[in-house]
A and B are shown apart, each in its own frame.
Chain A
Amino acid sequence: AQSVTQLDSQVPVFEEAPVELRCNYSSSVSVYLFWYVQYPNQGLQLLLKYLSGSTLVESINGFEAEFNKSQTSFHLRKPSVHISDTAEYFCAVTSNSGGYQKVTFGTGTKLQVIP
């Protein structure tokens, strides 16, 4: 069994300020980790993923996340946010046992960027 915890349901931040969205997971096996973003009235889009290799992964729009196995975390960060980053962010985990593995989503964090 696996689970994902996103402790912050809402994070307000001023434009151009840095932000961190927290994600912790628990699993008895090795995992793959994902961050998805959902803009209002849209589907989810992959922001970035960790499968293996470097523990620091980056997206094309300035977000990054670091896989920390000892702390079972995969926090999402951006050094300077824009108004357009206002959205719901979901952390997700699946196990790397092969075949189909159910994705477990966190409850989501609403990032509200204030002008």
Chain B
Amino acid sequence: DTEVTQTPKHLVMGMTNKKSLKCEQHMGHRAMYWYKQKAKKPPELMFVYSYEKLSINESVPSRFSPECPNSSLLNLHLHALQPEDSALYLCASSQRGWDEQYFGPGTRLTVT
């Protein structure tokens, strides 16, 4: 199984809502990532988890809160987002920190 799954596929939320994005992989990868991608732009790294520990936070605002409950799951908790946070949120995983990354299909987030 070389698949990374993400739920939901689409999410519309108001600025006062709390929601969560979920990501799952069963490839035994020990590194997992959250990216934000705006239209016609490359992915921007947000967070890196290595062996279930947060190893990199790219100065992301605190309204985004990542969580790694176990080696297969990655969550991104959202609270009090702004309209400019609307984007495609991609999860990825890799076996080693420098190796190819396997991406999920993404969650299309719209903040109203």
Contact = CB atoms under 8 A, between A and B. Distances in A.
B21 interface: no
Interface residues of B, number: 25
Interface of A: 32, 34, 36, 41-46, 49, 90, 94-103, 105-108, 110
Given A41-B108, A49-B100, A103 B45 contact: yes
Given A41-B108, A42-B106, A43-B106, A99 B98 contact: yes
Interface stretch (B36-44, B65-73, B75-83): B36-44
B101 A103 contact: yes
Contact of A106 (B42, B92, B98): B42
12 contacts: A32-B99, A41-B105, A42-B105, A42-B106, A43-B103, A44-B103, A46-B100, A49-B100, A96-B98, A97-B98, A100-B48, A105-B43
